[in-house]
Amino acid sequence: MQFFGGSEISPSPPVPTVSGNNAHMMYVFNRNGVCLLYKEWNRPLHTLNPQQDHKLMFGLLFSLKSLTAKMDPVNADKGNLGVPQLPGQGCSFHSFRTNTYKLSFMETPSGIKIILVTHPKTGDLRESLKYIYGLYVEYVVKNPIYNPGSPIKSELFNTALDQYVRSIS
Amino acid sequence: MAAAIYSLYIINKSGGLIFYKDCGTKGRMDTNDSLRVASLWHSMHAISQQLSPVNGCSGIELLEADTFDLHCFQSLPGTKFFVVCEPGTPHMESLLRYIYELYTDYVLKNPFYEIEMPIRCELFDINLTQAVQSDRVALLGR
């Protein structure tokens, strides 16, 4: 389970633990699989068109969560593989690493999934993802014109996010 | 340094489970579940290569979850070895390479072993049990 202490953004972002190149890209999904935000800073290789890419990413994360809930060696009572899990239920993963990238993942209790794809030598980004969620709450959720479930088009959010992600690289 | 390894899986290049060893998880998985988990991992490994932002991705090497870590090693022919262990356990990569050596010695060189089929080699089991004992894993790190 993940707990979020306090409802306002901390005055200063957490000390960056990462070292290495800039972040590659970032996704934000809601609980229905709608891609609310996709940002790309450095992506030389595009394998699929954007819609397929988002669907594939969401599907991968959904299946990985199902896998980790089932493979959990500590909890004795697990559901069957493939049973949809509520956010926060069952063991969830927070990152995976390949030889070319590292994907950091965070799911909030409301089902918002934040994904950051970075250089493989990046450290633990959980605090940074929490900070980004704080930015989302301040600039997007608290915006009265924003329609929940629709793609995010807030300039302020984009700028703040850009600034923060560049600062952790 | 105690190395707590929960389980070990070996999958052939088509994604079928050929070896599964459980070293102490609670709620032990039955055969069907372990088969499903293995094929699911095989597909996830392949999809992760598709989503790479740069060329040359060879799939997931480490998955970090709340209560366990999963280390995966893929050999050149495509056989995958993955181990579920306690978060932060060191030297898992060298353990996986050592297990690959045991696999080539006791399984592949066994003339009665049919490739891609489930592994039923006693010597492999014996050596593997020795390898996953905690003092042995600590030795591999040196």
B5-140 has which CATH code? 3.30.450.70
CB-CB under 8 Å, A81 with B51: no
The domain segmentation of chain A, as residue ranges, is 23-41+49-71+85-167
A23-41+49-71+85-167 has which CATH code? 3.30.450.70
Is residue A167 scored above 90 in pLDDT?
no
Is residue A81 scored above 80 in pLDDT?
no
Q: Closest chain B residue to A55 measured between Cα atoms? A: B51
CB-CB under 8 Å, B67 with A72: yes
pTM value is 0.85
**Average pLDDT of span B15-35:** 84
- Using CB atoms, pick whichever of A60, A81, A91 lies closest to residue B37: A81
The domain segmentation of chain B, as residue ranges, is 5-140
Q: What is the pLDDT of residues A24-68, one digit of tens each?
A: 999 999 989 899 999 988 888 888 888 999 999 999 999 999 899
Triad B69, B9, B48: Cα angle to 5°: 60
Say whether residue B67 is in contact with chain A using an 8 A CB cutoff: yes
